[in-house]
Amino acid sequence: MNEVVKNVVEQFNKDLSGIFGNRLLEIIIYGSSVRGGFCPDSSDIDFIVLIKSELSNDDQMKIQNLHTQYRKSKSIVSLFEGRYIGLENDKVTSGYYVGTNPKGWKPIHNLGFGDLESAMILDSYKAIYKTDLLNSLINFDWNVVYKEISFQLDEFLTNDLLLINEAYKKYALITAARSLYTYTMKGFISKLDVHDWIKNNYIDIDYGNPIMFLKNVKFEIESFKSSHI
């Protein structure tokens, strides 16, 4: 784990222990802060917090207050983004989502991860307390992961933002490159490492011609699929 993030997570752990006490079952950190390539200017600190028993209205208010304080601090703690999940008998009963925009904070009723995101989380994460509850809560099927990748590529190619929004274009192309790695290597790679990998094995990411690059990625995936049937 990134050393700066590690220190912040320790503070997060302390703050949550103060709020939930022995109801706090596990704090899971995943994404770039664990996999590599974490950058305070463009990364979030992705988390899942598991709580014993259903989340009450009071719990949700305390979560809101904590993350409001984090946002106001203008420090790295403002980068926490994730889910609080209430468990009873190891089953999800309730939850609360905290995103980058407070307007999107809301109660949730399940983890809400697709197979692709579930596979990515389980591939590399850091669990505080190590109760290993996560493996009993989420699972995935590689066949569904591959279908989600293909669907995602088609969405990128048909989204008008690809040619008019620089942030979306960068997101789409890096995600496509990482998807090619996942499809061909049956694993995951960081945003930081994917540029060198795809350049050395296929083609460089072409920000000047995003449509052509996405079509090339799609072609390589189709070619790989055909040769491995």
Q: Cβ(25)–Cβ(52) under 8 Å?
A: yes
SS3 state of residue 202: coil
SS3 state of residue 170: helix
- The residue out of 89, 110, 137 marking a domain boundary is 137
Give 177-197 pLDDT, tens digit per residue.
999 999 999 999 988 899 999
SS3 state of residue 28: strand
pLDDT, residue 36, reads 76
Based on the domain organization, do 55 and 119 belong to the same domain?
yes
pTM given for the model: 0.88
- The three-point CA angle 131-87-93 to 5° equals 155
Instruction: Identify the CATH number of the domain in which residue 68 sits.
Output: 3.30.300
Residue 101 is given by DSSP the state S
Based on the domain organization, do 131 and 157 belong to the same domain?
no
Q: Cβ(95)–Cβ(130) under 8 Å?
A: no
pLDDT, residue 39, reads 78
Single out the residue of 96, 88, 74, 80 nearest to residue 33, CA to CA. 80
Q: Which domain holds residue 169?
A: 142-227
Based on the domain organization, do 108 and 130 belong to the same domain?
yes
Based on the domain organization, do 71 and 88 belong to the same domain?
yes
Is pLDDT above 80 for 42? no
Based on the domain organization, do 172 and 220 belong to the same domain?
yes
Is pLDDT above 80 for 141? yes
Single out the residue of 140, 211, 225, 124 nearest to residue 180, CA to CA. 225
- The residue out of 76, 111, 137 marking a domain boundary is 137
Is pLDDT above 90 for 43? no
Based on the domain organization, do 18 and 128 belong to the same domain?
yes
The domain tally of the chain equals: 2
Q: Cβ(153)–Cβ(179) under 8 Å?
A: yes
- The residue out of 137, 170, 193 marking a domain boundary is 137
Based on the domain organization, do 220 and 146 belong to the same domain?
yes
Q: Cβ(87)–Cβ(52) under 8 Å?
A: yes
pLDDT, residue 173, reads 97
Based on the domain organization, do 21 and 109 belong to the same domain?
yes
